[in-house]
Amino acid sequence: MRPSSLVVVANRLPVDDSVAPDGACEWRRSPGGLVSALHPLLRHKPAAWVGWAGGIGDAPALADIDGVRMRAVALSAEDVRDHYEGFANATLWPLFHDSVEQPSYHRRWWEGYQRVNRRFAEAAAEVAEPGAVVWVQDYHLQLVPGMLRELRPDVRIGFFLHVPFPPPELFMQLPRRAELLTGMLGADLIGFQRAQAAHNFAQLAAKLLDLPATDQRIVVGDRVVRVGAFPVSIDMAEMEALARRPDVVERARRWRGDLGDPQRVILSVDRMDYTKGIEQRLKAYSELLASGQVKVRDTVMVQVAVRSRERVGQYQILRERVEREVGRINGEFGRVGEPAIHYLNHPFDRAELAALYRVADIMAVTPLRDGMNLVAKEYVAARVDGDGVLVLSEFAGTAAEFTRAFLVNPHDLEGLKQTLTQALRATPADATDRMRAMRDHLRTHDIRHWAHLYLTALDDTGSLAARLTTG
Ligand code: ADP
Ligand code: F6P
């Protein structure tokens, strides 16, 4: 593979090997914030993407996609078990999300995490041209910056964490906490979603590694590692264009009819993940139905919960519980031809998502904790007519930007019910006013703004940022 001047390293490639039997593939967006953020940015840019194609065994040879080189990393069944399902998604994921589920600690998983991180670092070292910028993404690969620096001291290394970075008292639980921090500190710039996360990280670097640290700079030997908040975003123009497409408008109209032309449609779109607050939301909705504050004939709820990380025990349990609860609610409150909740657990393409967002009078995004939450931003982008109401958890990174949403604490069941009721009763003038403020914010803080801020901070010549964020 020819070397590249920009290399993105992420656990997942934006394609999986099932779509590329003959090497010919198209961008197939996997559900998840990381791919949604990076995909529109890299298209037609001179970059390479190092990642896992989702299968087990040999890495498939993938053709370039829209000019971006794909370098798949091979993972064995043990690697997937110990790294992806184990240390990444059963240790770090719950720990970094306020331990809303109990993190598990296993020494074998840590070995797998190190092994797989080394393989990603070697692959990145192989495809980076001399002096390249290598941009490492997310919690699966926190050791890669340090490993890569040893292999390739000539490259400039960025690291961006898409998920929250926890407060010290939680992070301190992690058995291999110092090694994890040291791995991240191999980067020249460490980006977080929120300033609080950067603060948590700096505090830990001082406490655990005894390094001189402020929320902006950490001194590691003769290097200065910069730290900061760079809230990730979406391609607003892409979502707006989709939402305006005649076939999308027509599909939204048809779907509304299929839903029985109710007065109000409430929508939620999540990965099936315990951080997303799906069970709490269902409980609140069920109580609103039971009390008669919401009536099935007037209001319909659509819950999309795309299957995710299905081999991890906590995810299997969640799916069973959610599906049982949806069945119970429909059994109790549905009528013939009128279910109280329409539940869908499969992937949608972008145009279908845009149509769903257009159908939704109210979008309920109520995670218990979320690094950012791009679904909320996609909804706002898709409301090209300037209407629609967003109910948003205070514990999503997005809440720091969308202060005009109906903000809610999803742990507070009564508060959740009240906020949903307020959203259902919002006057058109209030809704439009709030939506206008959120759309104005998003327009100036879209994905190119994010990339520009981050890459200018990483590459002080500014040339990389200019190349990536124009056109
Ligand atoms: P996370 O990164 O935790 O998955 P985000 O809300 O930041 O959460 O990002 C989720 C992304 O996945 C969004 O871009 C959303 O459009 C996409 N997505 C969610 N559900 C589906 C689905 N059923 N089909 C396709 N894409 C989905
Ligand atoms: O940041 C959240 C995240 O872990 C992303 O890295 C990823 O895009 C998304 O969730 C989906 O997760 P997975 O890759 O495990 O399907």
pLDDT tens for residues 160-204? 999 999 999 999 999 999 999 999 999 999 999 999 999 999 999
Mean pLDDT of 14-32: 58
Same domain, 274 and 199: no
Tell me the residue range of the domain where 261 lies.
236-444
Same domain, 212 and 251: no
What integer pLDDT is reported at residue 31 of this predicted model?
61
The token duo for 345 is: 């657990």
Domain count, the chain: 2
**Separation of CA 233 from chain center:** 10
Measured torsion, CA atoms of residues 332, 338, 341, 347, in degrees rounded to the nearest 10 = 140
Q: Is the pLDDT of residue 62 over 90?
A: no
| DSSP annotation string for 413-463 | HHHHHHHHHHHHH--HHHHHHHHHHHHHHHHHSSHHHHHHHHHHHHSTT-H
- Tell me if 130 sits within 8 A of 172, measured CB to CB: no
33 C-alpha to ligand 2 centroid (Å): 6
Same domain, 156 and 217: yes
Q: Which amino acid is at 344?
A: L
What integer pLDDT is reported at residue 20 of this predicted model?
46
Strand order across the beta sheet in which 389-393 lies: 341-344, 299-306, 264-271, 362-365, 389-393, 406-408
What integer pLDDT is reported at residue 222 of this predicted model?
95
The token duo for 43 is: 């298209």
Active-site residue set: 162, 370
Answer left, alpha or beta for residue 371, where phi above 0 means left and psi between -120 and 50 means alpha.
alpha
359 C-alpha to ligand 1 centroid (Å): 17
What integer pLDDT is reported at residue 39 of this predicted model?
79
Binding-site residues, ligand 1, Cβ < 6 A: 31-33, 36, 269, 271, 304, 306, 347-348, 353, 372-375, 378
3-state SS, residue 318: helix
428 C-alpha to ligand 1 centroid (Å): 28
Same domain, 115 and 173: yes
What integer pLDDT is reported at residue 26 of this predicted model?
53
Q: Predicted confidence band at 25 (pLDDT cuts at 50, 70, 90)?
A: low
Same domain, 370 and 408: yes
Q: What is the largest CA-CA distance in the chain?
A: 71
Q: Is the pLDDT of residue 21 over 60?
A: no
Same domain, 211 and 267: no
Q: Predicted confidence band at 67 (pLDDT cuts at 50, 70, 90)?
A: confident
Same domain, 242 and 175: no
Lowest mean pLDDT among 58-62, 197-201, 280-284, 350-354: 58-62
**Separation of CA 36 from chain center:** 8
Same domain, 43 and 188: yes
Same domain, 224 and 325: no
Same domain, 296 and 398: yes
Residue the block writes with tokens 């509304």? 256
Q: Whose CA is nearest to atom 7 of ligand 2?
A: 32
301 C-alpha to ligand 1 centroid (Å): 18
Atom of ligand 2 nearest to the CA of 371: 1
Q: Is the pLDDT of residue 97 over 90?
A: yes
The tens digit of pLDDT for each residue in 79-93 reads 999 999 999 999 999
| DSSP annotation string for 331-395 | HHH-BTTB-SEEEE-S---HHHHHHHHHH-SEEEE--SSBS--HHHHHHHHH-TTS--EEEEETT
Q: Whose CA is nearest to atom 6 of ligand 2?
A: 34
Mean pLDDT of 200-220: 98
Q: How far apart are CA 134 and CA 285, in angstroms?
A: 45
For a mutational test of ligand 1's pocket, the pick from 353, 357, 379, 395, i.e. the residue with the most ligand atoms closer than 8 A to its C-beta, is 353
Q: Predicted confidence band at 471 (pLDDT cuts at 50, 70, 90)?
A: low
Q: Whose CA is nearest to atom 11 of ligand 2?
A: 32
Kind and range of the H or E element at 34? Answer: helix 33-42
Q: How far apart are CA 360 and CA 299, in angstroms?
A: 11
267 C-alpha to ligand 1 centroid (Å): 14
Same domain, 244 and 131: no
The tens digit of pLDDT for each residue in 114-156 reads 999 999 999 999 999 999 999 999 999 999 999 999 999 999 9
Which positions ≥6 away from 22 have C-beta within 8 Å? Answer: none
CATH at residue 48 = 3.40.50.2000
Looking at the CA of 89, name the nearest ligand: 2
372 C-alpha to ligand 1 centroid (Å): 11
Looking at the CA of 53, name the nearest ligand: 2
Q: How far apart are CA 114 and CA 355, in angstroms?
A: 42
- Mean pLDDT of all residues belonging to the chain: 94
The token duo for 140 is: 């699966």
Looking at the CA of 274, name the nearest ligand: 1
- Tell me if 46 sits within 8 A of 4, measured CB to CB: yes
Q: Provide the terminal-to-terminal Cα distance of the chain, rounded to the nearest Å.
A: 25
Same domain, 403 and 261: yes
- Tell me if 33 sits within 8 A of 137, measured CB to CB: no
Mean pLDDT of 347-367: 97
Q: Is the pLDDT of residue 95 over 60?
A: yes
What integer pLDDT is reported at residue 407 of this predicted model?
98
For a mutational test of ligand 2's pocket, the pick from 8, 9, 12, i.e. the residue with the most ligand atoms closer than 8 A to its C-beta, is 12
Mean pLDDT of 316-334: 98
Atom of ligand 2 nearest to the CA of 89: 15
Q: Whose CA is nearest to atom 12 of ligand 2?
A: 32
**Separation of CA 304 from chain center:** 16
For a mutational test of ligand 1's pocket, the pick from 93, 271, 272, i.e. the residue with the most ligand atoms closer than 8 A to its C-beta, is 271
Q: Is the pLDDT of residue 76 over 80?
A: yes
Q: Predicted confidence band at 465 (pLDDT cuts at 50, 70, 90)?
A: confident
What integer pLDDT is reported at residue 22 of this predicted model?
55
Q: How far apart are CA 307 and CA 251, in angstroms?
A: 24
Q: Predicted confidence band at 461 (pLDDT cuts at 50, 70, 90)?
A: low
